[in-house]
Each structure stands twice: as structure tokens, then as C-alpha cells.
Amino acid sequence: WVLLVTARTPTNIAVIKYWGKRDEKLILPVNDSISVTLDPDHLCTTTTVAVSPTFDHDRMWLNGKEISLSGGRFQSCLRELRSRAGDVEDKEKGIKISKEDWGKLHIHIASYNNFPTAAGLASSAAGLACFVFSLAKLMNVNEDQSKLSAIARQGSGSACRSLYGGFVKWIMGKEENGSDSVAVQLADEKHWDELVIIVAVVSSRQKETSSTSGMRETVETSLLLQHRAKEVVPKRILKMEEAIRNRDFASFAQLTCADSNQFHAVCLDTSPPIFYMNDTSHRQKITYFRIISLVEKWNRAEGTPQVAYTFDAGPNAVMIAHNRKVAGLLLQRLLYHFPPNTDADLSSYIVGDKSI
Ligand code: DP6
């Protein structure tokens, strides 16, 4: 027999960024972060997990290609899940698995991203969240969503936020064992549904510093990070929560842009400096600096912000429009000034609502 579970998990975009760990093994951050979960139709991972007595070892495939599960992060998640697995019974198929059996049974995992993994979009967030969520269902792990987020966190920090839709906060926590470093939902996907997210996707992955090693170097060398984590982010988190609660787009956009810019300033304050926005082709670099300038000028001309931008540790630009009308105008301007091409720079724009 084979028992299967399939789940789908969207990626999330941080509007107050996570950058820097206080514990690398447990993946505990130096500050809280807030994100918005995207619509699963656009950027998501779909994972099917299977268990069968005929499987002789754990195996995983990503987009059809087998990958190794031996990495510490996968193993931490698997260990946590197996230790919390419950009894499973499928009367129709005559399958009975007791919780003790999970230590002996092997699993197969097949995962697909509906966006190019090579494009450097936040695939680890959706991927690890889906890995944990689908296995927890298969193994009948009887834990609430926040406990599952703490398990996903050990796979990739940003993954813990993808277990919820809408607006999500990852609370950094204080405990050394990470038990209070969990994600919570601030508002569901219906709360502020006029927002529209536009992602400018690049078609080829450029050379870049991985988040994990970049963060390590920042923690070791940047004084600005200490200031950001202790002084800036705690206040920004409170303001961002208030902006989300009141659907106050002006504050939301101002905080989102400022936090993205400070994140890149912290990267530049790292020794040796990390240039995420420069670590792209010449055309892209120009495009992204011009996107910032276009949005800033537009917002100033309107007298109140209409669009927010945010850039992560990769080459993609994310813009959040106040509503559908603004999103339509923004897309028109983007297509006019920065038309997508096929030779490796800007490959397409993904337009989606935020939701789950
Ligand atoms: C810039 O979650 O990819 O996207 O925990 O080492 O796996 P690890 O890092 P990861 O870092 C994401 C960093 C970011 C900001 C954010 O998503 O908050």
C-alpha cells in the first residue's frame, strides 16, 4: 500500500525584513518580521508526500529531479515531525500505522514550484512550509499551526510565515530552545483585499550571496544591524501592525520602502559589503534603481503614497499597489518604461492579489 497527501503553500514577501540570526542551528532571528502571503495561483509550491512499507529510504524530488535530504535543515524538520507523529488509519485501504511505526517507515516527497526556482524568488519559504505542512498531515501530527511554524522555521526562517495567509508576524521569541519563536496571523487575507502585488521576475539567476551566509557575515560585522534590530525594528513593527489594522496605506508604504532600504543598507554595512540590488545585470540594476525612483516620484506627486516597493536578497522587485486602479496604472507604466524581454533580464510581471 501507499498513503499520499498533497498540499500547496504560497510564498510570502516580507514588509519588515528578517535579516540576522541569533542561533544559526535553530534559526532564531535577531528581530521580529512581518510579511504578506501571496496568492497561491502565482507563486507556490505543491508537494506530494507518500509513505509505504516498500520504501527503503527517505527520498525527495524537486521539480522532477532527485535532491539530497541529508542537509541539516531537512533532517531537523523530519526529526521534529517524526517525534510528534500520531496514529493513522485508513479503513477503506485497510492501512493502520501506529505512532511508533513512523520511526521505521520511510517517506517519499515530490515538490514542484509553479515559478522558476532558478529565478531566485523566495522558493525556500514556500518549499519548506509545504514540506512541513504536507508531512504533518500525512503523519497526523497533532500540533497547532504555530507549533508547525516553529518546525518550518528550522527549515528556513522565512518559511514559518508561509503557514498562514494574509499578514503574518514572526515573533523572534526569547527562549534559547526557540519554543516561542513562532509565526502568528495578524490579519487574514480578506482584511485588506484591495492591495495588489506586482512582482517583476528575472529570467536567469544571477550570482548572488545566499541569505544564510550573507546573514552570518552581517551579524559578525555590521554595527548598523545592532542598531536596526534593537532600536529601529521594534518601533517599526508596532507601527506596521497599526497600519495593517487600520488599512492605512500611506504608513504601510512608507514603512515597507524604508525597511527594504534599511535592509539593503545593512547589507552594504557588512564586511565585505553585500550588494543585492547591484548583483544583477547592468540592465536590471538600472531597472531596479529606476523602479524606486519612479515609485518615489509618483508617491510625491500624488501627495500620498500609492505604491510600495520592496527588494529581497535576490534580483526580483516587488511592488504593492494601493488598489486595482493604481495597479493598472502601475503596470502600464512598468510595461512602457521597463518592457519584459527574453534575454535574461526582466522576463515577466506577475500580478496577484494577496491571499492564501
Ligand atoms: C531577505 O528565510 O531565506 O528574504 O533562514 O537562512 O533560510 P534562512 O534565510 P531566508 O531569508 C530570507 C531573508 C529575506 C527577508 C525576509 O524574508 O524576511
The tens digit of pLDDT for each residue in 13-70 reads 999 999 999 999 999 999 999 999 998 887 889 999 999 999 999 999 999 999 999 9
What is the pTM (predicted TM-score) of this model? 0.94
Mean pLDDT of 313-336: 90
Instruction: Report the percent of the chain where pLDDT is more than 90.
Output: 76
Residue 34: strand pairing partners? 16, 169
CA pair distance 130, 7, nearest whole angstrom = 7
Mean pLDDT of 277-306: 82
Ligand 1: nearest atom to the Cα of 158 = 2
Coil, strand or helix: which one is 337?
helix
Q: Is the CB of 18 under 6 A from ligand 1?
A: yes
Radius of gyration of the chain (CA): 21
pLDDT of residue 116: 63
Q: How do residues 124-145 score in pLDDT, each as one tens digit?
A: 899 999 999 999 999 999 999 9
Q: Is the CB of 312 under 6 A from ligand 1?
A: yes
List alpha helices for 154-232, DSSP H. Answer: 211-221, 223-227
Question: pLDDT class for 204, splitting at 50, 70, 90?
Answer: low
Q: Is the CB of 158 under 6 A from ligand 1?
A: yes
CA pair distance 305, 268, nearest whole angstrom = 27
Share of the chain residues as helix, strand and coil, in percent rounded to the nearest 5: 40, 25, 35
Q: In terms of C-beta distances under 8 Å and separation of at least 24 residues, what long-range contacts does 288-295 make, across chains too?
A: 288/315, 288/317, 290/337, 290/338, 291/200, 291/317, 291/319, 291/334, 291/338, 294/333, 294/337, 295/257, 295/319
- Nearest Cα residue to atom 4 of ligand 1: 312
Residue 28: strand pairing partners? 23
Q: How do residues 256-283 score in pLDDT, each as one tens digit?
A: 999 999 999 999 999 999 988 765 566 6
pLDDT of residue 205: 56
Q: How do residues 171-188 score in pLDDT, each as one tens digit?
A: 999 999 999 999 999 999
Query: In the predicted model, is pLDDT for residue 207 greater than 50?
Result: no
Instruction: Report how far ligand 1's centroid is from the alpha carbon of 214 (Å).
Output: 10
Question: pLDDT class for 344, splitting at 50, 70, 90?
Answer: low
- The 3 state secondary structure assigned to 243-271 is HHHCCCHHHHHHHHHHHHHHHHHHHHCCC
Instruction: Report how far ligand 1's centroid is from the alpha carbon of 331 (Å).
Output: 27
Instruction: Report how far ligand 1's centroid is from the alpha carbon of 19 (Å).
Output: 7
Ligand 1: nearest atom to the Cα of 17 = 18
Torsion (CA) 30, 13, 49, 143 in degrees, nearest 10: 50
The answer to whether 148 and 132 have CB atoms below 8 angstroms apart is: yes
Q: Is the CB of 260 under 6 A from ligand 1?
A: no
For a ligand 1 pocket test, name from 158, 217, 276 the mutation site with the most ligand atoms within 8 angstroms of its C-beta: 158
Question: CA angle at residue 84 from 79 to 88, to 5 degrees?
Answer: 115
- Nearest Cα residue to atom 6 of ligand 1: 212
Q: Is the CB of 46 under 6 A from ligand 1?
A: no
pLDDT of residue 355: 39
Mean pLDDT of 339-351: 69
Instruction: Report how far ligand 1's centroid is from the alpha carbon of 319 (Å).
Output: 18
